[in-house]
C-alpha cells in the first residue's frame, strides 16, 4: 500500500516538477498532451466530428468556406471560446455596408458561440442561415446549427476542466451578456480537404 501511495504522489507531482524545471507553460503543455478530446472537420464531407479517446461521440453537418473564401486545412488548437458574441463586420470587400449586430440579434450571424481555431480570423460558429449547412457558403469559418455549436463548445470546455451546463448557457443568453473563456487545455482540431 505504501508503494502505491508513492506512485500516486509521483504521478500527481509530475506537472509541478515540469513547472519547476521548465516553467509553468511547459506544465500546461505537458497536460495538453493528455487531452482525450479531439475535433476533426472534413471539408469535402462537410462534417465536424468530435472524438474522445479515438471514439466518435458526435458528428455534425457544417457549412465550409466558399471557393473565393476557403476554410484553411491544417492542424490547430482550440484555446478561446466566446459565448453570445457580437458581430462586427470585417474589413473585407464582402462585408462593406454591413452593420454590426449585437449579441442575441436576429441579424447576428454568429448566434450562440464562436469557437476560435485560428485567432483572430477563423472559428466555428452558429449560423442564422441553417439552410447553408452542407454547403460551401461561408467566408472561411465553419458554420453549425447554433445548438450543436454550443454542445461542441461545452464539450471542449469540459475537456479543459471548465464544466458548465445548458442552464449556464441559457443564463448568458437571457441576460444578453458576452463571455470569453480561455482554455488551459487546448483541444486539438484538424481540418482536412
Contacts of 142 by beta carbon, 8 Å cutoff, 6+ apart: 41, 48, 62, 63, 64, 71, 123, 124, 125, 191
* Residue 88 predicted with pLDDT over 50: yes
169 pLDDT band, cuts 50/70/90, is very high
Shared-domain flag, residues 1 and 55: no
Catalogue the E-assigned strands of the chain.
Answer: 37-42, 47-52, 55-61, 64-65, 74-83, 113-118, 122-126, 136-138, 142-144, 179-192
Q: Under a CB-based contact definition with an 8 Å cutoff, are residues 126 and 132 in contact? A: no
Give the residue from 168, 167, 163 showing the smallest Cα distance to 179. Answer: 168
| pLDDT value for 20 | 36
Shared-domain flag, residues 89 and 51: yes
Shared-domain flag, residues 122 and 132: yes
* Residue 26 predicted with pLDDT over 60: no
How would you classify the pairing of strands 64-65 and 136-138?
Answer: parallel
Shared-domain flag, residues 65 and 3: no
Q: How many domains, in total, are found in the chain?
A: 2
| pLDDT value for 13 | 39
Shared-domain flag, residues 181 and 109: yes
3-state helix, strand, coil in the chain (%, to 5): 30, 35, 35
Shared-domain flag, residues 18 and 68: no
Shared-domain flag, residues 17 and 58: no
Shared-domain flag, residues 14 and 109: no
Indicate the SS3 state at residue 68: coil
23 pLDDT band, cuts 50/70/90, is very low
Give the residue from 151, 149, 148, 158 showing the smallest Cα distance to 187. Answer: 158
Shared-domain flag, residues 45 and 139: yes
Shared-domain flag, residues 56 and 143: yes
What is the per-residue pLDDT across 120-138, written as a single tens digit (0 to 9) for each? 999 999 999 999 999 999 9
Shared-domain flag, residues 2 and 88: no
Is pTM beyond 0.85? Reply is no
**Which CATH number characterizes residue 60's domain?**
2.40.440.10
Indicate the SS3 state at residue 61: strand
Average pLDDT across the chain, whole number: 85
Q: Under a CB-based contact definition with an 8 Å cutoff, are residues 45 and 61 in contact? A: no
| pLDDT value for 35 | 59
Shared-domain flag, residues 14 and 49: no
- Provide the residue range defining the domain that includes 98: 36-192
Amino acid at each position: 500500500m505504501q508503494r502505491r501511495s508513492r506512485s500516486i504522489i509521483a504521478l500527481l507531482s509530475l506537472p509541478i516538477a515540469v513547472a519547476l524545471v521548465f516553467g509553468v507553460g511547459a506544465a500546461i503543455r505537458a497536460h495538453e498532451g493528455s487531452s482525450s478530446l479531439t475535433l476533426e472537420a472534413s471539408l469535402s464531407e462537410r462534417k465536424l466530428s468530435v472524438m474522445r479517446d479515438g471514439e466518435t461521440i458526435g458528428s455534425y453537418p457544417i457549412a465550409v468556406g466558399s471557393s473565393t473564401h476557403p476554410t484553411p486545412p491544417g492542424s490547430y488548437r482550440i484555446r478561446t471560446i466566446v459565448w453570445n458574441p457580437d458581430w462586427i463586420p470585417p474589413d473585407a470587400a464582402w462585408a462593406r455596408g454591413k452593420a454590426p449586430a449585437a449579441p442575441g440579434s436576429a441579424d447576428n450571424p454568429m448566434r450562440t458561440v464562436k469557437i476560435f481555431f485560428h485567432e483572430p480570423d477563423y472559428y466555428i460558429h452558429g449560423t442564422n442561415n441553417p439552410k447553408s449547412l452542407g454547403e460551401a457558403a461561408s467566408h472561411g469559418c465553419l458554420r453549425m446549427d447554433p445548438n450543436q455549436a454550443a454542445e461542441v463548445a461545452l464539450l471542449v470546455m469540459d475537456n479543459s476542466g471548465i464544466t458548465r451546463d445548458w442552464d449556464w448557457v441559457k443564463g448568458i443568453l437571457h441576460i444578453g451578456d458576452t463571455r470569453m473563456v480561455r482554455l488551459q487545455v487546448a483541444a486539438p482540431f484538424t481540418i482536412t480537404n
